[in-house]
Amino acid sequence: MTSTDARPTGNSMRRLAGWLDRHARVRLAMLLAAPMGWLVVAYLGSLTLLFLNAFWSRDPFTGQVVREFTPNNFVEILTNPLYRTVTLRTVAMAVAVTLTCAVIAFPIAYYMARVASSRTKGLLAVAVVMPLWASYLVKAYTWRLILSNDGVLNWLLSPLGLRGPGLGDNVIGLWLVFTYLWLPYMILPLYAGLERIPGSLLEASADLGGRGLTTFRRVIFPLVVPALVAGSIFTFSLTLGDYIAPSLVTTTQFIGNLIFLNFGVPDLPFAAALSIVPLVIVVVYLLVARRMGAFQAL
């Protein structure tokens, strides 16, 4: 902040700025024009277009999109049991991953927020954030190496006479990988949520005879629900939309795989119709989350 050169010098510029000061509405409109133009027109517009596409079809000869209204894609998705199975499987996976992450995240988040010294706290926060930015693809690939038949996991388990889930047609391996990949997204909001609880509340609970468990159930848990929901938005949504980790560690299909496959055929309208499924699930989830105050906890 040294020079004053950046000060607008032109008279017209100053007059404009002065005029804007007196017209708050116009200033607001100018502030909002670019970001809302981008997010509402470009992004929500794209989502609308995707929705429209889902009602079109594909010419079997040329692969070109035929722009005539037909509900056939949705009829297929709703009537063919395959898509129901895959959707349920994907949602079940997302729920399992979310619950696992919540259970694993709670103790460490609690330790960070309420037990650790402030120095340890800072170190732990960085330690949790750092892996989040380490290449997602490389982490997923590492799990392929870990789960492989001759990999580390079986090497560790073999003295116990056990075997890992392997890379075949089962979902245990993928459940581990997703839990691993998304865990920090759960720890961080939970940590922030726990830290916001005033210590006096916990003391009051203890003074009134609340034991550890009672305090947890009646005081702590209700207060961190928004943080839990905030974290679950990420674990849930990231699991629903991933098509790369499944292709690396399992041969079981998830909804993302089907969307990507149809995108490549290319049968864009059908891929679009399929992607409406996770879209609807997450939007409903978000609306519920907002009611629970999760957005303030993000």
Partner 1 sequence: MDRKRFVALVGAMAIVAAACGGGGSPKPSFNVPTSVGDGEGALSVLAWPGYVENGGTDPAVNWTKPFEDATGCKVTVQVFGTSDEAFSLFSTNPGKYDVISASGDASLRLVRAGYVQPVNTDLVPNYADIFPSLKNKPYNTVDGVSYGIPHGRGSNLLMSRSDQVSPAPSSWTTMFDPASPYAGKVSVYDAPIYIADAAVVLMSTKPELKITNPYALDDTQFAAVVDLLKQQKPLVGQYWVDYTKQMDAFRAGDAVIGTTWEVIANLLKAETPAVPVEIVKPVEGATGWSDTWMINSKTENINCAYKFLDHIVSPAVNAQIAEWFGEAPANAKACQNTADPGFCETYHASDETFWKDVWYWQTPEANCVDGRTEVKCKDFNAWVKAWTEIKG
Partner 2 sequence: MDRLARSLLRLSTIVVLLFIYAPLALILVYAFNASGTSAWPPAGYTLRWVQDAIENTALRQALLTSIEAALGATVLALMLGTLAAIAVTRHRFFGRETISFVVILPISLPGIVTGMALSTSFATTGIPLGLFAIIVGHATFSIVLVFNNVAARLRRTAQSLEEASGDLGADSWQTFRYVTFPTIRTALLAGGLLAFALSFDEVIVTLFMAGGVKTLPIWIFESFRLARQVSLVNVVGLVAILLSVIPVLVASRLTQDSGGVTGARG
Interactions with partner 1, residue window 26-55 (CB under 8 A) = none
Interactions with partner 2, residue window 125-164 (CB under 8 A) = 125-139, 141-146, 148, 150-152, 155
Backbone angles phi, psi at 41, to 5 degrees: -70, -55
Interactions with partner 2, residue window 44-73 (CB under 8 A) = 44-47, 49-50, 53
Which is closer to partner 2, CB of 53 or CB of 171? 53
Exposed/middle/buried for 85, CB within 10 Å: 0-12, 13-18, 19+? exposed
Lookup: tokens for 131 = 């892996």
For partner 1, the binding residue among 251, 288, 290, 291 (CB under 8 A) is 251
Is 166 a binder of partner 1 (CB under 8 A)? yes
Q: Residue 267: left (phi > 0), alpha (psi -120 to 50), or beta?
A: beta
Q: Which does 219 bind (CB under 5 to 8 A by kind): partner 2, partner 1, none?
A: none
- Helix ranges (H only) for 37-169 are 45-53, 72-79, 81-110, 118-133, 136-147, 152-157
Length of the chain: 298
Nearest approach, Cβ of 258 to partner 2 (angstroms)?
10
Please report where in the chains the tokens 């340890």 appear, as a residue.
120
Exposed/middle/buried for 90, CB within 10 Å: 0-12, 13-18, 19+? buried
Is 262 a binder of partner 1 (CB under 8 A)? yes
Could you give the string, one character per residue 59-78, with x where binding to partner 1 holds by CB under 8 A and - elsewhere? Answer: -xxxxx-------x--xx--
Is 220 a binder of partner 2 (CB under 8 A)? no
The stretch near partner 1 (CB under 8 A) out of 35-43, 95-103, 113-121, 244-252 is: 244-252
Is 268 a binder of partner 2 (CB under 8 A)? yes
For partner 2, the binding residue among 77, 192, 220, 224 (CB under 8 A) is 192
Cα angle 37, 40, 43 (rounded to 5 degrees) comes to 105
Interactions with partner 1, residue window 101-130 (CB under 8 A) = none
